[in-house]
Structure 1
Amino acid sequence: MEKGETSVEKWRGAVSEVEDIVDILQNFGPRVEGFNKYKWRSQARSILRTFIARTKDFEDEPEWERLMALQEDLKKADED
């Protein structure tokens, strides 16, 4: 997704891609030998935070709540 993109359909596709990346990090990050146990979480949070910050124009879309829920899940995982 390009900076300044206004297509809702492209944004929705990008939301799915971000969710997929975070899911991959959650599933495989802890399994990688020599990989800091918590580094995958910080990478996932960073990707999500950056995407949210750059696409605030879409905060009225229903998918925005999925992003917020995913962000909250990552925060809770850090507290455990």
Structure 2
Amino acid sequence: MLTEEVSPSEQPDLFLQLALTSTFFAGIFQAALGILRLGFIIDFLSKAILIGFMVGSAVIVALQQLKGLHGIKHFTKKMQQLKD
């Protein structure tokens, strides 16, 4: 997602700063949820939502791994949300 905003080859320092910052805030958010013991919120989600999320994640990971296994060079990089 960062490569859509900043080119790692043209601005490597800014790209690295953005990657580290986003990783840091994701970790802080996850740690805060763990410290505040907010894991019970997942109990309010239906089983269908959880299974759909896990299956969707598994499909994306599997497709990304297939390109390396089969040596595909020009595989899609558009795995993010669709834009209007």
TM range (shorter): 0.3 to 0.5
TM-score w.r.t. length of structure 1: 0.36
- Bigger helix fraction: 1
| TM-score, normalised relative to structure 2 | 0.34
Query: Which structure carries more relative contact order (alpha carbon 8 Å, separation 6+)?
Result: 1
